[in-house]
């Protein structure tokens, strides 16, 4: 018995990939033929073997990969242009890039699940249908898949807006800093356990609470030591800021400081101050809380 299915498309990349993958498929008794009609180029796949379930599974896998590799980008662009037409081309491109970073993240189970959704939909279709118009199948038979891409775009727009606001926030603070004179030569920022403590030039602790009422920035109503530290730095505007990373690496807060204060920042991990607080940083934070 011969089982045949005709794949209809005018996308040459799709046709070439389909043919190449079918020719290299690990399954015997597969035969291919091509022809063209008025509207579509057709790839007809014939299977004369007995492992029909395996044949359908292999073909569904190939078609699923083709859909994701050759059609997904255009679907995402269409969603962005349709739902977020008010963004300019540069902004749309940033959203597009964020979206594909998210879709490529294998740790994101929600987005990675889309591959299984496409595979199952394709498999069900080719078992019961002998013709597949690929574009039509994608547009009308993959609603769950397109819904996931829709959610991915929404997620990317929200992330883009947060990043834009963050960039605007950093730029405003940089403008403020460059418009004022420094009030102090240098400040040491001791950073451990994601908390900040400030020391003056004589290595005395700076009470960050003293500068709350002169706040240039506080992020929310539940202030952290980092919020107070940033506000104090914006008030004092030191010419140099030595950041001492105590048993930790750079994180979002440290990167934010680097963006805001730029060439005033000096990172340190192994000076005399670092050595003192690496072995006794808990005492430092207990003193600061009193």
Instruction: Name the one residue in this structure whose structure tokens are 């192994």.
Output: 270
Q: Which domain holds residue 276?
A: 182-289
Show Cβ contacts of residue 263 under 8 Å, excluding neighbours closer than 6 positions: none
Considering the domain architecture, whether residues 130 and 202 belong to the same structural domain is answered as no
pLDDT at 215: 55
pLDDT at 1: 75
Considering the domain architecture, whether residues 138 and 65 belong to the same structural domain is answered as yes
Structure tokens at 30: 């597969």
d(C-alpha 2, C-alpha 31), whole Å: 10
Instruction: Name the one residue in this structure whose structure tokens are 């964020």.
Output: 98
CATH of the domain at 242: 3.30.420
Considering the domain architecture, whether residues 191 and 166 belong to the same structural domain is answered as no
d(C-alpha 163, C-alpha 134), whole Å: 37
d(C-alpha 234, C-alpha 230), whole Å: 6
pLDDT at 269: 83
pLDDT digits (tens, 9 = 90+) for 240-280: 999 999 988 899 999 999 999 999 999 988 888 888 888 77
Contact call for residues 206 and 234 (beta carbons, < 8 A): no
Q: Return the C-alpha torsion angle 267, 270, 272, 277, nearest 10.
A: 90
Considering the domain architecture, whether residues 227 and 274 belong to the same structural domain is answered as yes
Q: What tens-digit pLDDT sequence spans the chain (290 residues)?
A: 789 999 999 999 999 999 999 999 888 899 999 988 778 999 999 999 999 999 999 999 999 999 999 999 999 999 999 999 999 999 999 999 999 999 988 766 677 789 999 999 999 999 999 999 999 999 999 999 999 999 999 999 999 999 999 999 999 999 999 998 888 999 999 999 889 999 999 999 998 776 554 555 555 544 678 988 999 999 899 999 999 999 888 999 999 999 999 999 999 888 888 888 887 754 544 445 44
Nearest one of 194, 199, 203 to 251, comparing CA atoms: 194
Show Cβ contacts of residue 103 under 8 Å, excluding neighbours closer than 6 positions: 72, 111, 114, 149, 152
d(C-alpha 66, C-alpha 135), whole Å: 12
pLDDT at 239: 95
pLDDT at 221: 44
Considering the domain architecture, whether residues 261 and 282 belong to the same structural domain is answered as yes
DSSP state at residue 81? H
Show Cβ contacts of residue 12 under 8 Å, excluding neighbours closer than 6 positions: none
Q: Please identify, among 147, 172, 197, the residue that sits at the C-terminal boundary of a domain.
A: 172
Considering the domain architecture, whether residues 22 and 128 belong to the same structural domain is answered as yes
pLDDT at 287: 47
206 in a domain, yes or no?
A: yes
Structure tokens at 117: 């959704």
Q: Please identify, among 127, 153, 172, the residue that sits at the C-terminal boundary of a domain.
A: 172
Considering the domain architecture, whether residues 84 and 210 belong to the same structural domain is answered as no
Q: How many folded domains does the chain comprise?
A: 2
177 in a domain, yes or no?
A: no
pLDDT at 229: 92
Considering the domain architecture, whether residues 141 and 237 belong to the same structural domain is answered as no
Considering the domain architecture, whether residues 280 and 259 belong to the same structural domain is answered as yes
Structure tokens at 125: 């279709």
Instruction: Name the one residue in this structure whose structure tokens are 């020391």.
Output: 199
């Amino acid at each position: 018995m011969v089982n045949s299915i005709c794949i209809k498309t005018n996308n040459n990349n799709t046709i070439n990939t389909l043919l190449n993958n079918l020719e290299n498929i690990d399954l015997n008794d597969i035969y291919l033929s091509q022809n063209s009609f008025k509207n579509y180029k057709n790839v007809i796949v014939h299977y004369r073997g007995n492992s029909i379930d395996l044949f359908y599974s292999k073909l569904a896998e190939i078609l699923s990969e083709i859909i994701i590799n050759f059609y997904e980008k255009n679907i995402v662009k269409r969603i962005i242009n349709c739902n977020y037409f008010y963004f300019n081309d540069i902004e749309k491109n940033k959203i597009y890039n964020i979206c594909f970073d998210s879709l490529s993240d294998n740790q994101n189970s929600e987005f990675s699940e889309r591959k299984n959704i496409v595979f199952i939909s394709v498999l069900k279709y080719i078992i019961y249908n002998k013709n597949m118009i690929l574009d039509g199948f994608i547009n009308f038979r993959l609603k769950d898949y397109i819904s996931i891409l829709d959610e991915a775009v929404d997620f990317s727009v929200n992330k883009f807006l947060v990043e834009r606001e963050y960039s605007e926030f950093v730029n405003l603070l940089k403008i403020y800093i460059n418009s004022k004179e420094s009030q102090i030569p240098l400040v040491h920022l001791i950073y451990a356990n994601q908390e900040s403590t400030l020391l003056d030039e004589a290595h005395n602790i700076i009470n960050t609470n003293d500068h709350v009422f002169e706040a240039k920035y506080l992020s929310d109503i539940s202030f952290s030591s980092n919020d107070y530290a940033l506000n104090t730095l914006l008030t004092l505007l030191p010419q140099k800021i030595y950041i001492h990373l105590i048993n930790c690496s750079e994180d979002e807060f440290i990167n934010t400081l680097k963006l805001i204060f730029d060439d005033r920042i000096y990172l340190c991990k192994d000076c005399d101050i670092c050595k003192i607080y690496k072995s006794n940083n808990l005492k430092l934070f207990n003193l600061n809380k009193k």
